[in-house]
Chain A
Amino acid sequence: MLKNITLGQYYPVDSLIHRLDPRIKLILTIAFIVAVFMVHTLAGYAVIFAFVFWLSRLAKVPFRMLLRGLKPLRFIVILTFLLNLFFTPGEKVLVEFWIIRITEESLLQAVHYSLRLIFLVLGTSLLTLTTSPVSLSDAIEILLTPLKKIRFPAHELAMMMTIALRFIPTLLEETDKIMKAQMARGADFESGNLFNRARAMVPLLVPLFVSAFRRAGDLAMAMESRCYHGGEGRTRLRVLKIQNNDWAACGIMVLLIGLIVLEGILL
């Protein structure tokens, strides 16, 4: 089971979107979120939906993979919808009984907010589905580099992300091993109520932490012995280069934002 774990939710296929520069993808995702928040009409959301659908086709990512990203957030989306529906003041009453009062304004607001939330998640899922965690951490490092002037540890942050990604499979394997070892000694991880089960985790977590600290010490020594001395004067094997496709992607995003602004003025 551990042999083929995928890190994060990266969907490894080769597509136009996968090949885009991760820095550009990250910036464009932020631009997309801004665009979503500028939409004020249902027609605008239709445009956004069409855009996301088109991108998922380009990225060769099945649309239901994108929708899966919404699953953990479904309660928040429903809650947002209901809160806005019941508690937004308005004039044109649609339904009214007991303490519930739904107006046209509140219905519109509820639809708007939940759609925004949905598209926000779809946009960022598209980013994480098409960008490997390693390139994402590269992109974050480079984009944050200007912040080094105010002593923001951009390189260290990216190095931590890389090491965390590197050790996820190792620690998973170790967890598996410790779990089996403790089960052989009679530990029970599966039965009992929530409290008992949480307490059963202690003999799992303590050895795991001890070993993680030992690994950290070993790794620090190995890194030092290979001349690691921080980000200063460091070169990289992976060099990111902006290609024509990246400029085209930026152009398309500008078009989308333009369209939404125009729609906001006209309607």
Chain B
Amino acid sequence: MTETPRISLDGVSYTYEEAPSPALSQATAAIREGEFVAVLGHNGSGKSTLAKLLNALYIPTEGTVLVCGYNTKEEKYTWEIRRRAGMIFQNPDNQIVATVVKEDVAFGLENLGVPTVDMIPRIESALATVRMSKFADTAPHMLSGGQKQRVAIAGILAMEPSVIIADEATAMLDPSGRQEVLDTLLALNKNKNITVVWITHFMEEAAKADRVIVVSDGSIVEDGTPGEVFEKTDRMRELHLDVPHMTALAEELRSEGMPLPGGILTVEDMVREVEKIICPSKSAT
């Protein structure tokens, strides 16, 4: 693994025009290649601002953002940065431009000036990766929310990015749509080594990441593995954030005297740990 981070934030602040205080202040973090990072925070915490800074949609008022080694402040690199760090937005309807799925996937390639003959295989493979090949000729308004988000992912994949930033990409979807989108990105992260920045307020989703960054009132307040971060249950409550249900349950059981270890995030973790306590012979085999 190369030591230069994919994304590095160094003392980054951003103030909206006419806003009295910065939406994000003094954020410093480095995201390495192949990491799946969840950014957590409640509404108005500055997590969406952070996302837009990673894609040169916003330019920091203070500090520097480096994406794949390019400084977002330098205008000549803007398109290079946006190609390498693709972004999926919250509303699935408001990011599809074309009237047919495959043409929407082509949109980014058309903007980059990719010759038509090279476009077709790239579109086909991108649609195959998100398992949307059979919808290539469908009108976007016929698709479900989760399918639309997968089309948006394909549109970014066709541009061959190294980072995908999902700005609350599941907030408007139903549970099955959320699962579809998260699974697609987890697979891309695993199989293609694409770095993913997953901005969300769902704790269960964040629990699946390699690393969790918590943003509150415009500052990065926690940064660590999901186990480490969610272990601080009281700290999370203080930040008006929930912890995953299983972590909360583990804590309650512990206070009732059950000797559960820390770092329980999912139902699977819980089952394993409880089994160890109630029938040690089974877990030993």
Most chain A CB neighbours (cut-off 10 Å) among B52, B94, B123: B94
Specify which chain B residues have a CB less than 8 angstroms from the CB of A237 in the assembled complex.
102-103, 106, 109-110, 116, 119-120, 123
* 8 Å CB contact of B99 from A165, A229, A234, A235: A165
Q: Which of B71-102 contact A (CB under 8 A)?
A: 79, 82-83, 86-87, 89, 91, 93-100, 102
Q: Which residue of A lies closest to B80 (CB)?
A: A227
Instruction: Give complex CA distance A224, B156 in Å.
Output: 12
Chain A residues positioned under 8 Å from B79 (CB to CB): 227, 229
Is B258 an interface position by the 8 A CB rule? no
Contact for B159 among A222, A226, A236, CB less than 8 A: A226
B249 within 8 Å of A by Cβ? no
How many interface residues does A have (CB within 8 Å)? 31
Residue A134 lies at the interface, judged by CB distance under 8 Å to chain B: yes
Structural contact, B111 and A234, CB atoms closer than 8 A: yes
Question: Does chain A have a CB within 8 A of B142?
Answer: yes
Determine if B190 is an interface residue (Cβ-Cβ < 8 Å). Answer: no
Tally chain B residues at the interface, Cβ within 8 Å: 41
Q: Interface of chain B, helix or strand or loop or mixed?
A: helix
Shortest distance between the CB of A248 and any CB in chain B (Å): 26
Residues of chain B within 8 A of A170, CB atoms compared: 93, 141
Q: Which of A3, A215, A225 meets B82, CB within 8 Å? A: A225
Q: How far is the CA of A229 from the CA of B108 in the complex (A)?
A: 10
**Interface of B toward A, CB cutoff 8 Å:** 52, 55, 57, 79, 82-83, 86-87, 89, 91, 93-100, 102-103, 106-116, 119-120, 123, 139-142, 155-156, 159
Residue contacts A-B, CB under 8 angstroms, 24 given:
A162-B97, A163-B97, A165-B99, A166-B96, A166-B97, A166-B140, A215-B91, A218-B89, A218-B95, A219-B95, A222-B97, A224-B82, A225-B86, A226-B111, A226-B156, A227-B111, A228-B107, A228-B111, A234-B113, A235-B109, A235-B119, A237-B103, A237-B119, A237-B123
